[in-house]
Structure 1
Amino acid sequence: MHRPSPIETRLAAELAETRPDLVDRYQAELPGARAAVLTRLWRALAHEPLPWVARRVRGAHSLALWLADGRALHGPRADPYATDAYVTAVRLDGEAYDDPAQLTTDLGWPHSAGFAAELGHSVASLALSRANQAFSAEDAAQWPAHDWEWEQRIVDGHPFHPNCRSRPGFSVAEQLAYGPEHRPVVRLETVPVAAADCLLTGDWPDGLRDGQRLLVPVHPWQRDHVLKGGSAGPWRDAHPLMSLRTLALPGGPHVKTALTARLTSSVRDISVYSVGAAMTLSAFATDLASRTGGLLHITRTLGAVTADSPDLAALLRESPEVYAGPGEHVLPVAALATTRLPESPSWLAEFTRLALTVGLQLLDLGVALEAHGQNLLVVLSGAGAPLRLVYRDLADIRLSPVRLTRHGITPPGLTGRLVTDDEAVLRRKLFGSLVGGALAGTAGSGPALAAALESAVPHLRATPDLAALREGPLPVKALTLMRLSPEVPGDQWTALPNPLAALR
């Protein structure tokens, strides 16, 4: 049924030159990687408002999609919150497909060729990531000593995006050298820029100054592929985190670098707007978090700089480790699925209650967090109990001046995309990232998510936002539609079945 794709073949050839010891393991991991990506794609075909799907017919255990051109797709019933790879093949007009890239190519929708290439990268890179793992079930019981070690456990990337591990533009050697799941140490470099030519907000350390020049930290991939070398010089060794472009300095802050490559959906540069807003946003969010009674901490931005270009910019940010007390651990929510937690049926409900309490309180005050499994971290006790939350990376939150003013809070002096009073936009931002992302990814299935929500909701303060969460469908980003309609700016959304409805 499967013919090796060009990207699978190319990565195998590169691997034979770079790490011949991994070739057999890479080939063995390819079928599972195809199923993982196909499962994510099938979720999108089943639930996103794709204009090329005319009708969906759901059976007890199956799903039929009738396409606008008269063809039909058949596959298993799609749980929108499942994280296991349960789709091994679907049928398009009776022909079986186990390769998501080939299926997308043969669907022939607008922009499907480019998206199919990204899916091919996602499969091949995911197989490579899995092939280079020494992590075992026994390791899940051992809790790491450093923050970056938690992030190295996250091998499969985004739990619901078909481009979960897509890294076009990265060779095999570069993936092994820079991907956090491969556990490398990365030598960051710096580019000197005249201070007069930079926008700087916050403090910039003496170690990143050279007379009248500022030294801007640069990722080596960016140096090679975008900046083309130039005057970059070595700086410090660092450990890549799950976003790949943000790295942890041992004993020091995290460094967010520009990485002008498309990973999952987005190009990972740092806009001049983000640098200009960084310190105002950090101070405001830190102050607002103090209203949660210690349940939420914000990792402060220490300094941000740009050479008037999204391709050459960097932010220095506190490590979340500063908010973990003695004997406690702080880890991204995405890492919970890789960790052996207390075997208590109430654990997920307790975590869900904590996350919703904080998220809904801030939303009511006027701040919608982008609280997905990468930005949201949880502090666990030594016994594994969820104690409080840490949030990092404020670049995509939303602020409502009307809501803030209603609570007697002076809105920060910011304009642009961060600011909106549209209730639908605010709720989509939080519900899609927190419930449809962090909590769903931790629960692993619709029934488990529904049970956790049902247990947590009665303990939450009644607000119009909570009512909207309980009563309506759950908004999440239409990630595949966005890749197939690049001419449409901004986020696009779909509505998933409300997991609470199954328990009513």
Structure 2
Amino acid sequence: MARHLADLRPDLVEPFGAALPGARAAVLTRLWRALAFEPLPWIAERGNTAGGLTVRLADGRALHGPPADPFAVDGRVTRLGLAGVEYLDPAALVEDLGVPHGTVFAAELAGSVTSLALSRADTAAAPGPSAASWEWEQRVVDGHPYHPGCRSRPGFTVADELAYAPEHRPVVRLSLLPVERERCLVSGDWPAEWRDSGRLLLPVHPWQARHVLRLPVDGNRTEIGTGTGTGTGSGTATGSGNGEGNGEVNRQGDADGFAAHPLMALRTLAVPGGPQVKTALSARLTSSVRDISPGSIASSAIVSAFAEALTPRLGGLLHVTRTLGAACDGTPDLAAVIREAPEVYAGPGERVVPVAALAAAGSVLASSWLTDLAALSLGVGLRLLELGVALEAHGQNLLAVLSPDGRPVRLVYRDLADIRVAPRRLARHGLRLPDGFPARIVTDDVTALRRKLFGSLVAGALGAAAGSSEALASVLREAAARLPSTPDREALLGDPLPTKALTLMRLSPDVPGDRWTLLPPPLEG
């Protein structure tokens, strides 16, 4: 990477080298968390020792490291010992573990280290008091707080990282690709300014245009010829990235694009003074290649209206950014969702900050902000769960509205694609699912509902903000004292805490869906 940086950003070569040891430790800390707590099939047993933790592998080798804290995010693990050999590099350790799918994972960890070092090398001053939420969002340098592949972006070059990754604060030019209206699946109201006679103009990320749609990109313009459905040639209709397209589609002409700022999700971008746009970007980010399925396009307006109708029951403490419009051409490769900007829900002097970015916003926060945030978010999350909706309230989806003196006073939630909804709980409150509601997110399974909320909000957002088991336990005790007792509240405080087994998922590419593990009850910290 240093060689490429010397050509692209010579000013970052020295800071990048200085950031590498800390980046290795940050990724090694995340990996040690997985080795200490996840149900990895090649681990036989774990046991505390005088100096820390010993993990014994099924082949008899022993792995030694410091005490493992599931909520540590500070890169405190700088070395691990395997069979008498000391490792500072997480990629080398995984390679020598010799576990199934470990070689690919090791390569991703190597990329995660270098990408994280690049992110840390390219930091900037904190945004000003009147900064938009996207400016705070771009302050999240380290990526996912607990995934060893926190900055892994296979398929991205150094130039791609600098051009498209939010932590580098680029302005990304999205093209508008004309697609015949009759070929499109549309939900909600597609903006009039993104229409052209009988065609819709779909926003396209430049990485997607080059690498998946195979469209020739010249500067900030995407040239679109007559598509033949191959997805690989010059000019062309969309393909699925594997050489198969979606049939004959006439997409002639070209359209000027617009500038936008990438957010933590990378494929979602903020339009200055306008909405946020989720684009199709078929690159692997941390655990999976994420797309925008036609099914999610079809149901997006229904789910958005359903969630919006519930918010009055929360006393004004939660707003959900509305889905304004969604469209695709029948494939996940060319799709877009347009959502309200979170700033819509900020009053005079208030600012909206993603929970994942609050640690970087310390200068604008009140001293008790974490306890206030925990009480606010748990109160809202548990109330919604009682009604029958489990939010995936991790630090990216959940945003805090801060008062002028830096106190969290309300919440904003975005991206409803992975919530869970329980019809029986809804029915107890006189509510029902609307027609056309997607079956994929419907469940009455109490375990699945609690996993969704507790795993994202407590094991994810609040745990990362606290930074240690002890700090999280202290915050939860004080916050819970402000909340009424319900079965869900008592389960949260007294039962083992569910969290996604992120490394197990990455090392199980043939097993679909989420995998889970249990952490000690959070009040034991």
- Normalised by the length of structure 2, the TM-score is 0.91
**Alignment-derived partner of residue 120 in structure 1:** 110
Of 203, 214, 224, the residue aligned with 2:189 is: 203
Shift of 1:497: 1.1
Residues 44 and 169 (structure 1), Cα distance of their counterparts in 2 relative to 1, 3 Å cut: same
Structure-to-structure mapping, 1:257-276, within 5 angstroms: 257-276=279-298
Of 155, 173, 193, the residue aligned with 2:159 is: 173
SS at match of 2:447: helix
Bigger shift: residues 254-263 or 224-233: 224-233
Shift of 1:344: 6.1
Residues 147 and 445 (structure 1), Cα distance of their counterparts in 2 relative to 1, 3 Å cut: same
Shift of 1:266: 2.0
**Alignment-derived partner of residue 521 in structure 2:** 498
- What amino acid maps onto 1:208 in structure 2? W
**Alignment-derived partner of residue 373 in structure 1:** 395
Contact 2:366 2:406 in 1 (8 A): no
**Alignment-derived partner of residue 384 in structure 2:** 362
**Alignment-derived partner of residue 489 in structure 1:** 512
Shift of 1:396: 0.5
Contact 1:379 1:387 in 2 (8 A): yes
Contact 1:191 1:216 in 2 (8 A): yes
**Alignment-derived partner of residue 440 in structure 2:** 417
- What amino acid maps onto 1:180 in structure 2? P
Contact 1:377 1:390 in 2 (8 A): yes
Tell me the distance in 2 between the aligned counterparts of 1:364 and 1:59.
42
Shift of 1:342: 6.8
Shift of 1:365: 0.4
**Alignment-derived partner of residue 233 in structure 2:** none
Tell me the distance in 2 between the aligned counterparts of 1:501 and 1:342.
31
1:427-486 CA-partner distances (Å, limit 9, x unpaired):
000000000011111111111110010001122121111111122100000000000111
Structure-to-structure mapping, 1:167-246, within 5 angstroms: 167-229=153-215, 231=224, 233-246=255-268
**Alignment-derived partner of residue 480 in structure 1:** 503
- What amino acid maps onto 2:506 in structure 1? R
**Alignment-derived partner of residue 227 in structure 2:** none
Q: Superposition RMSD on alpha carbons, in Å?
A: 1.3
Shift of 1:499: 2.0
Gaps of 5+ in 2: 217-223, 225-253
Of 348, 359, 381, the residue aligned with 1:337 is: 359
- What amino acid maps onto 1:361 in structure 2? R
Contact 1:60 1:77 in 2 (8 A): no
**Alignment-derived partner of residue 12 in structure 2:** 22
- Normalised by the length of structure 1, the TM-score is 0.95
**Alignment-derived partner of residue 438 in structure 1:** 461
Contact 1:208 1:215 in 2 (8 A): yes
SS at match of 2:284: strand
Tell me the distance in 2 between the aligned counterparts of 1:266 and 1:487.
12
- What amino acid maps onto 2:28 in structure 1? L
Tell me the distance in 2 between the aligned counterparts of 1:418 and 1:184.
34
Shift of 1:411: 1.4
Of 311, 322, 337, the residue aligned with 1:315 is: 337
**Alignment-derived partner of residue 429 in structure 1:** 452
Contact 1:187 1:234 in 2 (8 A): no
- What amino acid maps onto 2:14 in structure 1? D
1:156-212 CA-partner distances (Å, limit 9, x unpaired):
111111111111111111111111111111111011111111100100112111111
Tell me the distance in 1 between the aligned counterparts of 2:432 and 2:328.
28
SS at match of 1:339: helix
Bigger shift: residues 230-239 or 311-320: 230-239
Tell me the distance in 1 between the aligned counterparts of 2:51 and 2:414.
40
Structure 1 residue ranges, 4+ long, deviating more than 4 angstroms after superposition: 341-345
Of 301, 323, 326, the residue aligned with 1:304 is: 326
Residues 374 and 343 (structure 1), Cα distance of their counterparts in 2 relative to 1, 3 Å cut: closer
Contact 1:405 1:411 in 2 (8 A): no
Contact 2:109 2:152 in 1 (8 A): yes
Tell me the distance in 1 between the aligned counterparts of 2:14 and 2:524.
46
Shift of 1:13: 2.0
1:91-135 CA-partner distances (Å, limit 9, x unpaired):
000101111111111101111111111111110100111111233
Contact 1:330 1:377 in 2 (8 A): yes
**Is residue 78 from structure 1 mapped to residue 101 from structure 2 by the alignment?**
no
Contact 1:180 1:241 in 2 (8 A): yes
Residues 36 and 101 (structure 1), Cα distance of their counterparts in 2 relative to 1, 3 Å cut: same
**Alignment-derived partner of residue 62 in structure 1:** 52
Tell me the distance in 2 between the aligned counterparts of 1:322 and 1:60.
53
Residues 341 and 26 (structure 1), Cα distance of their counterparts in 2 relative to 1, 3 Å cut: closer
Residues 244 and 79 (structure 1), Cα distance of their counterparts in 2 relative to 1, 3 Å cut: same
**Alignment-derived partner of residue 41 in structure 2:** 51
Structure-to-structure mapping, 1:278-289, within 5 angstroms: 278-289=300-311
**Is residue 463 from structure 1 mapped to residue 486 from structure 2 by the alignment?**
yes
Tell me the distance in 2 between the aligned counterparts of 1:319 and 1:192.
24
Contact 2:493 2:522 in 1 (8 A): no
SS at match of 1:377: strand
- What amino acid maps onto 1:15 in structure 2? L
Q: State, as a whole percentage, how many aligned pairs show the same letter.
A: 63
Tell me the distance in 2 between the aligned counterparts of 1:115 and 1:412.
42
